[in-house]
A and B are shown apart, each in its own frame.
Chain A
Amino acid sequence: MVDFSLSENDERILDAMREQSRVVRRYARYYDDNENELPPDALPEVVNFRSPYKDVEFEEGIDTPRHVLHVLVSAIQAWGDYGVLMKRIGEGLGNGVLTAAGTDEQRARWQRCTLAIAMTEPGCGSDPKSIQTTAVRDGDEWVLNGEKIFVTAGCRAEGVVVAATVDKNLGYKGIKPFVVMKGMPGFEVSHREKKMGIRADDTATLLLNNVRVPGDHLLGACDDSAAGFRAIMTALNRNRPVVGVAGVGIASAALDFTREKLKEEGIEIVWGVGKQGRSAVQQELIEIEADIEAATLGLLHAAWVSGGNEWKARPTSIAKAKAGEVARTATQRCLALLGGLGLSREYLVEKWFRDARITDLYGGTGEIQRLIIARDILGYSSAELP
Chain B
Amino acid sequence: MISFALTDEQRLLRETVRKFAQTELREVARACDEASRLPDELLATVADLGLVAGVMPESFGGGGSDRSPVTNTLLAEELGAGDSSLGLAAVAPALFAIPVLEFGTEAQKEQLLPMFSEPGFHAASMALHEAHFGFDAAALRTVAAPAPGGYRLTGSKRFVPLGDRASHILVIARLEESGLEGLEAFVVPRDSKGLECAPEPEKTLGLQALPTAALELDGVEVASEARLGGENGIDGARLINLCRVAGAAFAVGASRTVLEYATAYAKDRLVSGRPIAQKQAIAFMLADMEVEVNAMRHLVWKAASELEQRRDASRMATLASDYVRRKSMEIADKGVQILGGHGYIRDYPMEMWYRNMRALTILDGVGIV
* Chain A contact residues, CB within 8 Å of chain B: 1-7, 10, 61-65, 68-69, 271-277, 283, 286-287, 289-291, 293-295, 297-298, 300-301, 304-305, 315, 318, 321-322, 367, 369-371, 373-375, 377-378, 380, 384-385
- Check A10 against B1 for contact (C-beta < 8 Å): yes
Number of interface residues, chain B, beta carbon within 8 A: 56
- Closest CB in chain A relative to B157 CB, distance in Å: 16
Chosen A-B contacts, 7 in total, with CB atoms closer than 8 Å, are A2-B301, A5-B1, A64-B3, A272-B180, A305-B4, A370-B283, A385-B278
With contacts A1-B5, A7-B1, A377-B263 taken as known, whether A294 is within 8 angstroms of B286 at the C-beta atoms is: no
Chain B residue numbers with a CB within 8 Å of A367 are 284
Instruction: Check: B326 CB closer than 8 A to any chain A CB.
Output: yes
| Complex Cα–Cα for A371 and B281 (A) | 11
With contacts A65-B1, A274-B136, A301-B4 taken as known, whether A2 is within 8 angstroms of B323 at the C-beta atoms is: no
- Closest CB in chain A relative to B141 CB, distance in Å: 13
Chain B residue numbers with a CB within 8 Å of A3 are 1-3, 305, 309
Closest to B7 in A: A1
| Complex Cα–Cα for A315 and B298 (A) | 12
- Check A297 against B295 for contact (C-beta < 8 Å): yes
- Check A371 against B280 for contact (C-beta < 8 Å): yes
Chain B residue numbers with a CB within 8 Å of A385 are 277-278, 280, 283
- Check A68 against B291 for contact (C-beta < 8 Å): no
| Complex Cα–Cα for A378 and B277 (A) | 8
| Complex Cα–Cα for A216 and B286 (A) | 46
Chain B residue numbers with a CB within 8 Å of A2 are 3-6, 70, 301, 304-305, 308
Contact partner, B298, options A272, A275, A301, Cβ 8 Å: A301
- Check A272 against B299 for contact (C-beta < 8 Å): no
- Check A298 against B294 for contact (C-beta < 8 Å): yes
Chain A residue numbers with a CB within 8 Å of B309 are 3, 5
Q: Encode B275-307 as 1/0 by CB contact (under 8 A) with A.
A: 001101001101110110011101101101110
Chain B residue numbers with a CB within 8 Å of A6 are 1-2
- Closest CB in chain B relative to A89 CB, distance in Å: 24
| Complex Cα–Cα for A298 and B290 (A) | 12
Chain A residue numbers with a CB within 8 Å of B135 are 274, 276
Chain B residue numbers with a CB within 8 Å of A271 are 314-315, 318
- Closest CB in chain B relative to A41 CB, distance in Å: 32
Chain B residue numbers with a CB within 8 Å of A273 are 136, 138, 179
With contacts A286-B319, A370-B287, A374-B287 taken as known, whether A304 is within 8 angstroms of B4 at the C-beta atoms is: yes
Question: How would you classify the secondary structure of chain A's contact residues: helix, strand, loop or mixed?
Answer: helix
- Check A68 against B2 for contact (C-beta < 8 Å): yes
- Check A380 against B291 for contact (C-beta < 8 Å): no
Within 8 A of A (CB), among B236-250: 237, 240
- Check B283 against A378 for contact (C-beta < 8 Å): yes
Closest to A325 in B: B291
Instruction: Check: B134 CB closer than 8 A to any chain A CB.
Output: yes
Closest to A287 in B: B322
Q: A5-B311, A374-B286 are known contacts; what are 6 more A-B pairs with Cβ within 8 Å?
A: A3-B305, A4-B2, A277-B139, A318-B290, A373-B290, A380-B277
Instruction: Check: B266 CB closer than 8 A to any chain A CB.
Output: yes
- Check B3 against A277 for contact (C-beta < 8 Å): no
- Check A274 against B139 for contact (C-beta < 8 Å): yes
Instruction: Check: B320 CB closer than 8 A to any chain A CB.
Output: yes
Chain A residue numbers with a CB within 8 Å of B364 are 274
Within 8 A of A (CB), among B304-338: 304-306, 308-309, 311, 314-316, 318-320, 322-323, 325-326
| Complex Cα–Cα for A46 and B296 (A) | 40
- Check B302 against A297 for contact (C-beta < 8 Å): yes
Q: Encode B56-98 as 1/0 by CB contact (under 8 A) with A.
A: 0000000000000010000000000000000000000000000
| Complex Cα–Cα for A1 and B291 (A) | 23
| Complex Cα–Cα for A71 and B4 (A) | 14
- Check B319 against A290 for contact (C-beta < 8 Å): yes
With contacts A277-B138, A290-B323 taken as known, whether A272 is within 8 angstroms of B2 at the C-beta atoms is: no
Chain B residue numbers with a CB within 8 Å of A289 are 319
- Check A294 against B299 for contact (C-beta < 8 Å): yes
- Check A300 against B2 for contact (C-beta < 8 Å): yes
Chain A residue numbers with a CB within 8 Å of B277 are 374, 378, 380, 385
- Check B319 against A378 for contact (C-beta < 8 Å): no
Chain B residue numbers with a CB within 8 Å of A322 are 291, 295
- Closest CB in chain B relative to A286 CB, distance in Å: 5
Closest to B136 in A: A274
- Closest CB in chain B relative to A14 CB, distance in Å: 11
- Closest CB in chain A relative to B7 CB, distance in Å: 6
- Check B287 against A290 for contact (C-beta < 8 Å): no
- Closest CB in chain B relative to A276 CB, distance in Å: 4
